[in-house]
Amino acid sequence: MEPIRIFYFSDVLCIWAYIAQIRLNELKTTFQDKVEVEHHFVSVFGTAREKLENRWRERGGLTGYSNHVLNVAKKFDHITVHPDIWTKVTPPSSTSCHLFLHAIQLLETKGLVDRSAQIFEKAIWAFREAFFSELANIADRQVQFEIAEKLRLPIAAIQAQIDSGEAYAQLSKDFDLVKEHTVTVSPTLIFNEGRQRLNGNVGYRVIEANIRELLHNPPEEQSWC
């Protein structure tokens, strides 16, 4: 049986995606080669400062949103969030992060780094942790290079994927998939050939139940009920 393919859409600056990473890890540990998670990005924070200042204007602006994120984070002991999140440092956009991460993904695809090391997923987590825990402006290219260096990635090779336009092409594919599947929430899981989706802060047991149902009743054997 082919592994269940999961399209996982997220924004690297999204607190809920930061929280949800542990669920993805558990999913892969539990189901191993029975599931295949395919990462894509949705630009919820494409214009981060402008969006937050507008949407949170009546609720304290960036300070109000910061308090919201901190209150959310208190409920989860597996993550660390800096007390000055979003106020002391406000990345202008997640888009540059997504572009850089796709450049890293291309290194993996082309075999320029060890594929078994799952460096693309490690880089996504490193970016999230750098922002939420260390308050790094991960939209800044120099900061992105610093994160890549910590992961011992070849900087020149990453830059080459961006300069060639290939990383932009991967990001454009994400834009197309977001439109195709009408994704507006981070994170969003889409599986069963687009017939099923889970949006936002969905608990692990709910995700697991959906996967087990598909394993028990593969698409070609679906019943009327």
- pLDDT tens-digit map of 172-197: 999 999 999 999 999 999 987 778 89
Question: Residues 3, 36: contact at Cβ < 8 Å?
Answer: yes
Residue 18's closest CA among 100, 127, 113, 97? 127
CA 187, 95, 137, 24 dihedral sign is: positive
Question: Residues 7, 178: contact at Cβ < 8 Å?
Answer: no
Q: What is the pLDDT of residues 121-152, one digit of tens each?
A: 999 999 999 999 999 999 999 999 999 999 99
Question: Angle at the Cα of 125 (from 155 to 52), degrees rounded to 5?
Answer: 100
Q: What is the pLDDT of residues 66-93, one digit of tens each?
A: 999 999 999 999 999 999 999 999 999 9
Tokens 């290219």 locate to: 141
User: In whole angstroms, what is the distance from residue 49 CA to residue 63 CA?
Assistant: 12
Given phi > 0 = left and psi -120 to 50 = alpha, else beta, which region is 118? left
Confidence of residue 218 (pLDDT cuts 50, 70, 90): low
